Structure 1
Amino acid sequence: MARFELLGTAIIPGKGTQLRLLQRNDEFSIRIAGTSGELMNTRLHGSEDALATLACERITDHPAPKVLIGGLGMGFTLAAALQSLGDAAEVTVAELVPEVEQWNLGPLGSASGYPLKDPRAKVHIGDVVQLIKASPASYDAILLDIDNGPEGLTQKENDWLYSAAGIAAAQEALRPEGILAYWSAGQDPAFTERLKRAGLSAEAVTVRAHRPGKGAKHVIWLAW
């Protein structure tokens, strides 16, 4: 069997943790240096697709919808959002690590169909929190695929997005009848209750990492 080859490395700003991009034939993997597990793999993106499709199907009747995605990753959530929305849509992706954008513009982008080349897509290099705080009533949907979910893995600072203050800030950044969507590697009943205490209707949807019925179970929270 072919072995993974290292294509690139990147440091997560403010953390010092190194990300590693690897390729084996047509398969790509992003891992944290010094660990045996992987953060992302191009063969396992069913839940990233679902993050976009479950949320965007709620806003297809909105005129010129604007969507904010926290985390570019391997581009699958962006690709699914663009596929779900019409020509008048605008999708902004906030990505903390500049090299991840370059990886998606390079060979890695082939796995998701190079969504960054779509004229409806925009990239903000920086923390998605900055955009949320600076953009009141700006988005029809905010999709957050940051870290491992409510329990941060690569950055403890990511927990703010899942706190009461973070949820309130995201609510303020939504347009009327907008929707929030959060990706997580697993269930977290406390987060469901936190969304409800914020006055939101909340639904935790179990999805598969690979395809329906296959792969690990992940969770998408929809809140409106």
Structure 2
Amino acid sequence: MIPWEFLGEAVVPGGDTLRLTKRNDEFSIRTEGYELMNSRAHGSEEVLAKDGLQRLGGRSDCRILIGGLGMGYTLRAALDNAREDAAITVAELVPEVVEWNREHYGHLAGHPLKDPRVSVFVGDVGNAIKGEGPWDAILLDVDNGPDGLTRSGNDRLYSKRGLLSAKQNLTPGGILGVWSAHADPVFTKRLKECGFAVEEVHVKARLKRGGKHTLWFAKKTK
């Protein structure tokens, strides 16, 4: 078996260490022995962006916030499904992840950071939600979803307070999309308690195979 090649390491602020490795044309980011993301499994992330933006009904001059750059697949799907007049901000907490995209694996998703519609916010997506809005869509592809893995600070994104902050910073009819590795009935209930109209969707990691991931599309109705 071909061994993994070590490419880089980064520390999540207040969290664990990320390790980027490569084997042939496959890239993997792991933390503490757990694979956080792999370049071969990104179907559900693409659905998050595609279906989330479709729920906006083709509105013009959209302002879209993506929480988590990762390997760029969510951003690529947003670009492919957004109008040419859209403005997309991707918030990434770890600066090295931005550099890895530019230096190592950006080609996998068609170099999304080179698109003129894209700007990068290096920092906590919670700060971008409050400080850079309002947004027509907020797409959270952060950590492991509401059941955080690498950073306990992400819990505040999915708390009632965090969800109400997202709602406050959405335009009327705006969409909050959330990706998760697991189903979470408590989180579904919390979204509804915050006044969102909620759709819960289950999608295979590679669309046709792999474990099922959960997506929530929460619409601001008032």
| Amino acid in the other structure paired with 1:12 | V
Using the TM superposition, give the Cα deviation of residue 135 of structure 1 relative to its aligned residue in structure 2, in angstroms: 3.7
Alignment pair present for 1:29 and 2:28: yes
Q: SS of 1:159's equivalent?
A: helix
Alignment pair present for 1:83 and 2:80: yes
Distance in 2 (CA, whole Å) between partners of 1:98 and 1:108 is 15
Instruction: Give the direction of change, closer, same or farther, for the CA distance of 1:100–1:189 in structure 2 (3 Å limit).
Output: same
Instruction: Give the direction of change, closer, same or farther, for the CA distance of 1:116–1:76 in structure 2 (3 Å limit).
Output: same
Partner of 2:104: 107
Q: SS of 2:76's equivalent?
A: helix
Partner of 2:59: 62
Contact 1:60 1:85 in 2 (8 A): no
- Aligned residue among 170, 176, 183 for 1:174: 170
Alignment pair present for 1:4 and 2:4: yes
- The CA deviation string for residues 52-108 of structure 1, in whole angstroms up to 9 with x for no partner, is 011011225211111000100010000000000111011100000000000001121
- Aligned residue among 108, 119, 131 for 2:128: 131
Contact 1:170 1:180 in 2 (8 A): yes
Give TM-score scaled by structure 1 length: 0.95
Runs of 4+ in 1 over 2 A off after TM superposition: none
Distance in 1 (CA, whole Å) between partners of 2:20 and 2:54 is 32
Partner of 2:191: 195
Using the TM superposition, give the Cα deviation of residue 186 of structure 1 relative to its aligned residue in structure 2, in angstroms: 0.7
| Amino acid in the other structure paired with 1:220 | L
Structure 1: runs of 5+ lacking an equivalent: none
Q: SS of 1:103's equivalent?
A: helix
Q: SS of 1:110's equivalent?
A: helix
Structure 2: runs of 5+ lacking an equivalent: none
Contact 1:8 1:22 in 2 (8 A): yes
Partner of 1:120: 117
Partner of 1:143: 139
Distance in 1 (CA, whole Å) between partners of 2:48 and 2:13 is 25
Using the TM superposition, give the Cα deviation of residue 166 of structure 1 relative to its aligned residue in structure 2, in angstroms: 0.4
Alignment: residue pair count: 219
